[in-house]
């Protein structure tokens, strides 16, 4: 009984608030999520940066897809009785466009599906989530910088699809550094 008395003496500021105010307070605090906490902003920023990087990689892939279509249109002629098959060098070049697009798609999927620490109450007690998310945001910015440079390179007209692997290497390295950071700190 004395324990119940101690609880009733502590004032609760929300008790006298209007219904709408109580709803808003419960919305932000009562359900365990606060949109204004820096950790939650950093988590959302992480998702936004990765969405933009994914978009840039998708643009690069679409650029190569358009160039592949142009290449096929210009180098693959209608088959004739004398030449029923396309030139083997033209087929090889077209396949290099396809491989380049697949490589870009693989990196784009890895960016989109990269892990981010969840809002877990148990882990919040054992790690400094704010520091982890701030470092993760920096790593995401490195990935974004490499992806922007890659998109710039692919968008330039004399771009050979065989150079995609070399041009994608910095994006992959930054993504790997992000994964290493997350596994080391998480």
What's residue 170's pLDDT? 93
Give, in degrees to the nearest 5, the angle at Cα 114 between 49 and 46: 25
Query: What number is the average pLDDT over the span 135-144?
Result: 90
Residue 146 lies in a domain: yes
CB contact at 8 A, 127 and 186: yes
Residue 180 lies in a domain: yes
Residue 7 vs residue 122, higher pLDDT: 122
Residue 149 lies in a domain: yes
What's residue 173's pLDDT? 93
Q: For residues 47 and 102, give the distance between their C-alpha atoms in angstroms, rounded to a whole number.
A: 23
Residues ≥6 apart with Cβ < 8 Å to 81: none
The pTM of the whole model exceeds 0.85: no
Query: What number is the average pLDDT over the span 80-105?
Result: 89
Judged against a pLDDT cut of 80, whether residue 124 lies above it is answered with no
Q: What is the maximum alpha-carbon separation in the chain?
A: 102
The pLDDT tens digits of the residues spanning 39-77 come to 778 888 888 999 999 999 999 999 999 999 999 998 888
Residue 17 lies in a domain: no
Residue 10 lies in a domain: no
């Amino acid at each position: 009984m004395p324990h119940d008395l101690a609880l009733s003496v502590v004032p609760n500021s929300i008790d006298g608030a209007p219904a709408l105010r109580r709803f808003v307070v419960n919305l932000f605090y009562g359900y365990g999520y606060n949109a204004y906490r820096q950790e939650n902003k950093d988590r959302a920023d992480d998702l936004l940066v990765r969405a933009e990087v994914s978009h840039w990689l998708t643009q690069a892939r679409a650029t190569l897809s358009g160039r592949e279509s142009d290449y096929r249109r210009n180098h693959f002629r209608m088959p004739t009785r004398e030449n029923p098959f396309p030139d083997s060098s033209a087929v090889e070049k077209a396949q290099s466009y396809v491989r380049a697009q697949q490589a870009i798609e693989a990196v784009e999927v890895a960016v989109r599906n990269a892990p981010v620490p969840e809002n877990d109450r148990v882990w919040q007690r054992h790690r400094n989530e704010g520091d982890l998310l701030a470092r993760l945001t920096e790593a995401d910015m490195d990935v974004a910088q490499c992806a922007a440079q890659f998109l710039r390179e692919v968008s330039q007209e004399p771009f050979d699809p065989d150079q995609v692997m070399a041009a994608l290497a910095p994006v992959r390295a930054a993504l790997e550094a992000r994964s290493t950071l997350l596994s080391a700190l998480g």
